[in-house]
Structure 1
Amino acid sequence: MTETVQWELSGFGDEIDADPRVQAAVMRALGASHIEVRSAWGTNIVDLSEDQLAELKSVLDEAGLKVSAIASPIGKVDVELPVEHEVERLDRALRAAEVLGAPYIRIFSFYYEGKKAEDVRDAVIERMTALARRAEGTGVTLVHENEKDIFGDVPERVLDIVETVNSPALKLAWDPANFVQVGVKPFSEAYEMLRPHVVYLQVKDAVSSSKKVVPAGEGDGEVLTTVEALRDSGYTGFASLEPHLAYAYETGGFSGPYSFGVAARAFAKVTEAAGVVAR
């Protein structure tokens, strides 16, 4: 009999509700052991005060939830801003990770509207290197998300970033929906290239023709194939639900408790088919 593979289920709490108590209650009801923190009480994680961080820690402890990642907005700014701009914001994300006990911080690789990717490549690498160097030695790993419209939105540029920076503090988060939305077939065109650097799975799917985000397994994100491949490669990390089923905006998205549950059940069908238990 094949041994069941177990992953840690997490999710973006602010896709459920602004109130972290509601976030925690829903995540626990879904059987999750962790939560990913992007905002609480309507305030982004990098803008929470020390008192708010302490209160958030208390709420999550009371619910028996650990934090899988700080879903920061670091790198979701124009590449022309000074290097120090995002390094300073990373300091606040690192503080949040310290208080909440998060092993990962999600980051991005900069907008460059009106410019060519090749023309901003050196500036992006300079900034990503500075962020990685700041994180080194903290015990926290930065995970780059392949968000659309940033420099690292297609597989080749994602690989360029992580291999050029070449830091133990910079790895990759895998987001299949974002790849679909930039015309990439995630598993077919990116998995083999990027798998050596992938340490975190974000769960959302999308339809290639409309770019609409849909529950996992219902779009063109090749989610089941990817989950099976991750399973076979020995992946035992986090699977973090980021459904975006109600609406999305520049710094995040929202689903609400009901749609978040729909997303969780859809992913459970995928993991069951793959022989993986996520909880």
Structure 2
Amino acid sequence: MRYSSETWPMGAAMLQYGATLPDGSSVQDADRSVWDKVFAELVHEGFDHVDFTDTWLRPGDLSADRLAELKASLDDAGLRVTAISVVRRSVIAPDEEVAQQNFDYAMRTIKAVKYLGSEILSLGLHMPLSKEQKDAHWFWLADGHKDPENDPATWNLAVGRIRALSDAAAEEGIKVSLEMYEDTYVGTADSAVALVKDIDRENCGLNPDIGNIVRLHRPVEHWESMLQKMLPYTNYWHIKNYLRDYDPATGAYFSAPAPLASGYISYRRAMEIALEVGFDGPICLESYGGDGLAVCAQNREYLRGILKFKLGK
């Protein structure tokens, strides 16, 4: 194992930060001082790594000068980058022009991953939120985009495009990690494993973000079964937890974000499985609602405590 409990890279996700500033301007175009302030807050909460969730900032779309500014801001804060997470930009979007734009963007992001000193591009096949999802109390309570089932042509398109991205990433020493998300080709453990096997690239693995699945108001595979299948192929991991309940008398489901220690998934057992199969990739901590950053900081210390006992260091 290449890390101890204290050195294991655990990045703060940027879900709690919006892409638009109070004056209506974009974080993407903001003065470096805006980025400095956010990074200072992450450090204040004890983080030494950040995950660039690209709903906040898109490093792949920055000019060379602006990317250098971003790196300087990170360096001055003492922050390293666990990964850049490309979300809701599917390379197999139904609109072929959009799909190609998303593919080109992912290619540019590989260069940004390398420049920022990271080793992971996390890639999802999920699409932008629908109006119904935006209007829902929690977006996962409404249906969104679904990748077509029993469609070999679209499946093979996904395989081919992610394989091409993986090959380009390999030239830069970068790994590609496919994020689990409902109703996509990475939406079940079996489908995710089948996809990464078909892609068949050593640097392409899985990001078993099972929190995206256990929050759904529908029957889902048990979390431990999903992890048993996916962790042997995992090279990066978005970690979050939810409360989950089901009343068979009424058929009603309930879910809500929860700290790692008190949610439906036992991350003590999850880490045990991960270590058993040799997982040693970076981790990203996520949480929705409330003070997500504070919850992520608490979750980081919870995981480090588990790792200290499991690793003995």
TM-score of the alignment, normalized to the shorter chain, above 0.5:
yes
Alignment match of 2:79 (pick from 65, 79, 99): 65
1:119-138 equivalences under 5 Å are 119=151, 120-138=154-172
Matched, 1:102 2:118: yes
Of residues 45, 48, 53, the one that matches 1:30 is 45
For residues 114 and 177 of structure 1, the distance between their equivalents in structure 2, rounded to whole angstroms, comes to: 18
Within the candidate set 203, 209, 221, 1:169 is matched to: 203
Q: Cα 1:75–1:181, aligned 2, differ >3 Å: closer, same or farther?
A: same
- Which of 199, 210, 222 is the matching residue for 2:266? 222
Assess, with a 3 A threshold, how the Cα gap between structure 1 residues 51 and 21 changes in structure 2: closer, same or farther.
Answer: same
SS state at 1:175 partner = coil
Residue 296 (structure 2) pairs with residue 263 (structure 1)? yes
Is the CA contact 1:8–1:32 (under 8 Å) kept in the aligned structure 2? no
Q: Which position in structure 2 is the counterpart of 1:196? A: 232
Distance 1:115 1:60 in 2: 36
Instruction: Say which is worse superposed, 141-150 or 78-87, in terms of deviation.
Output: 78-87
The aligned amino acid for 2:171 is G
Task: Give the aligned CA root-mean-square deviation in angstroms.
Answer: 2.8
Q: CA deviation at 1:121?
A: 2.4
Where does residue 254 of structure 1 map in the other structure?
Answer: none
In 2, distance between residues paired with 1:136 and 1:29? Answer: 34
SS at match of 2:121: strand
Shift of 1:216: 1.6
Deviation per residue, 1:77-100 (Å, 9 max, x gap)? 624526643331122101211221
Q: Check the 8 A contact 1:46/1:72 in 2, yes or no.
A: no
SS in 2 for 1:199: coil
State how many pairs are aligned.
Answer: 262
The alpha-carbon deviation at position 4 of structure 1 amounts to: 6.2
Which residue in the other structure is 2:93 paired with?
A: 78
Cα displacement (A) at 1:159: 0.4
Are 2:12 and 2:284, in contact at CA under 8 Å, matched by a contact in 1? yes
How does the TM-score come out when normalised to structure 1?
0.81
Matched residue, 2:22? none
Greater CA deviation, 177-186 or 142-151?
177-186
Partners in 1 of 2:208 and 2:274 — Cα distance? 11
What residue ranges of structure 1 are gaps of 5+ in the alignment? 247-257
Between the aligned partners of 1:16 and 1:136, the Cα distance in structure 2 is 31
Q: Mean alpha-carbon deviation: is it higher for 93-102 or for 80-89? A: 80-89
- The structure number with the bigger radius of gyration is 2
- Answer yes or no: is the 8 Å Cα contact 1:4–1:276 preserved in 2: no
CA-to-partner distance for each residue in 1:50-73, whole Å, 9 max, x for gaps?
222111101000011111111123
In the other structure, the counterpart of 1:11 is: 12
What is the Cα deviation at residue 140 of structure 1? 0.7
TM-score w.r.t. structure 2 length?
Answer: 0.73
Unaligned runs of 5+ in 2: 19-26, 28-33, 128-143, 245-252
**Bigger mean CA offset, 102-111 vs 13-22:** 13-22
